[in-house]
Amino acid sequence: MRRYARRVMLWYPVNTECMANDYYEVLGIPKHASPDDIKRAFRKLAQEHHPDKGGDPEKFKEVNEAYQVLSDAEKRQQYDQYGRTFEQARAQGGFQGFEGFRDFSTWAEASGVNFEDLFSGMFGGGLGDMFGMGGGRRRQRRGRDLEIAIELEFSEAVFGVTKAVPLERRVPCDVCGGSGAASGASKKACATCKGAGRVRTVQQTIFGAFQVVTTCSSCQGEGQVITEPCVACRGQGTQLRTDEVQIAVPAGVEAGNTLELTGQGEAGERGLPSGNLYVHIRVRPHQLFTREGTTIFSRIVITPTQAVLGDRVIAATVDGDVEVKIPAGTQPGDQLRLRGKGVPRSHGFGRGDQVVTVMVDIPRKLNRKQRERWEELQRVEKEEREKT
C-alpha cells in the first residue's frame, strides 16, 4: 500500500563546502576516456598514492572517489550531466552546486533534474508532495486509504456483481459540512507559522544537515486556524459513521485482484479530499468449476460405450446445462472445448472458453446381461487378433 510522506516539503542547502576537483582531472584523463582508460589511470594513481606505500591518504581518497563514479556507467552519465551534486552530497553531506537558487525545486528546474529518477523509492511518496513544486502550493493532506476484503461466489466473479458492504469510516461532519468551523465563525492567520503554513527547522538527514521546511503542525499547513471550532467534530470536520458502500465488481475479476475505489476512503480533515478504498477480492471454490484467467475447467464422466460409440450428453456451464457431442472413439482425458462458455474478457471483448475433460467410468459391477455382452465383445476381439 502506498504511504504518503507527510513532513518534508522543501530543502535548502546549509552545508555548502567548496567543490573539489573535477573527477576527470583527478584521474588525469580526458572527458571522452574509455572504461579501460579509466581503469588504467586509476590503477596507476592508486598505487602511487596508496597510504600503505607512503602515499597521501587525502589524494588516495580523492582518486578512489573519482574512480567509483567514473567506472560506473550510470553514475558517470549522471556526473557528466549534473556535475558532482549528488555523488558529493552523499559522500560529504550537503547538496552542492545549487547555491544561489532560492530552493531545491528552482535549482532542479534550472538544471533539468528529474526528481522521480533521482529519488524514486527513497522516500516512498510522491515527490510533488515533498518539494512544494510550483511554489507555495498548499500542502494537501487527504483522508486515509482503507482496505477491505470481500468474498464472491464463483459466478459473481465471472459475471460481476454489486455488493453492499457496511463500512465504518470518517465522513464529512454533518453539522459543519466538513469545514470544522462553528456556523458563522471566521478563520484567522495561524500564530505559529504566521499564515505561511510551513515552519523551518534544521534537520540531520542522510545528505547531512539541512534547513528543512515542514508543514506547520498548529494549522496542518493551512496557514489559517478556525476561531470557533465546530462542537460536533471538535474542528476536525469529520465524523465516524457506518455506511453501506456499494461496490461494483466488474465481470471477470479473479481471486487476488484488488479494486481501487477513488475517494471512497476516509474523508480528509476540514474539507480535504478523501482517501481511496482498496477492495481485495476472494472467491469461494466451486464444486464443478475451476478457473484460469478467462478459461473455465470442468469434468464430465461417460461410460465406455459412450466413449466407443459416441453420444450426446449434458454438461454443466456457468450459463446452465448444455448438450455436448461426444465423438466416437473419445479417449479418457480428451478435452472438449465449449466456445464462449468461459469468463468475459475485460473491456467487452467476448468470453473465454470452457474446457471439459472427459473421464471414462469403467463399470465395477455388471449384471448377467451386460456380462454376456462384454464376453461376446471379448470373443470378437480375440478372433480379430488371431486373424492378423
Binding to Zn ion by residue 189, rule CB under 5 A? no
| One residue of 14, 33, 91, 175 binding Zn ion per CB under 5 A | 175
| One residue of 146, 157, 176, 249 binding Zn ion per CB under 5 A | 176
Matching residue, cell 462553528: 182
* Window of 71-79, 153-161, 209-217, 360-368 that interacts with Zn ion by CB under 5 A: 209-217
> How many chain residues bind Zn ion (CB under 5 A)?
12
Binding to Zn ion by residue 192, rule CB under 5 A? yes
Spell out where the chain has E strands: 8-13, 146-152, 161-172, 187-189, 198-205, 208-215, 224-226, 238-249, 258-261, 277-283, 290-292, 295-302, 311-317, 320-326, 335-338, 354-360
Q: How far is the CB of 146 from Zn ion (least distance, A)?
A: 21
| One residue of 218, 257, 295, 303 binding Zn ion per CB under 5 A | 218
Binding to Zn ion by residue 8, rule CB under 5 A? no
Q: How far is the CB of 139 from Zn ion (least distance, A)?
A: 10
DSSP 347: G
* Window of 58-66, 230-238, 313-321, 372-380 that interacts with Zn ion by CB under 5 A: 230-238
Helices and strands in the chain: count of H runs, count of E runs = 11, 16
Binding to Zn ion by residue 224, rule CB under 5 A? no
Distance CA 316, CA 11 (A): 65
Distance CA 24, CA 37 (A): 11
* Window of 23-31, 88-96, 211-219, 280-288 that interacts with Zn ion by CB under 5 A: 211-219
The answer to whether 244 and 148 have CB atoms below 8 angstroms apart is: no
DSSP 357: E
Binding to Zn ion by residue 9, rule CB under 5 A? no
Binding to Zn ion by residue 219, rule CB under 5 A? yes
The residue among 164 and 191 lying less far from Zn ion, judged by its C-beta, is 191
CA distances to 45, 47, 63, 188, 311 from 55, in Å: 10, 8, 12, 65, 93
| One residue of 133, 171, 209, 232 binding Zn ion per CB under 5 A | 232
The answer to whether 76 and 23 have CB atoms below 8 angstroms apart is: no
DSSP collapsed to 3 states, 251-294: CCCCCCCEEEECCCCCCCHHHCCCCCEEEEEEECCCCCCEEECC
Q: How far is the CB of 233 from Zn ion (least distance, A)?
A: 3
* Window of 113-121, 140-148, 224-232, 332-340 that interacts with Zn ion by CB under 5 A: 224-232
Please state at what angle helix 73-82 crosses helix 57-70, rounded to 10 degrees: 100
Q: How far is the CB of 226 from Zn ion (least distance, A)?
A: 10
The residue among 238 and 276 lying less far from Zn ion, judged by its C-beta, is 238
| One residue of 10, 63, 66, 230 binding Zn ion per CB under 5 A | 230
Binding to Zn ion by residue 190, rule CB under 5 A? yes
Query: CB atoms < 10 A from the CB of 74, how many?
Result: 8
Binding to Zn ion by residue 233, rule CB under 5 A? yes
Q: How far is the CB of 221 from Zn ion (least distance, A)?
A: 7
Residues in contact with Zn ion by the rule CB under 5 A? 173, 175-176, 190, 192-193, 216, 218-219, 230, 232-233
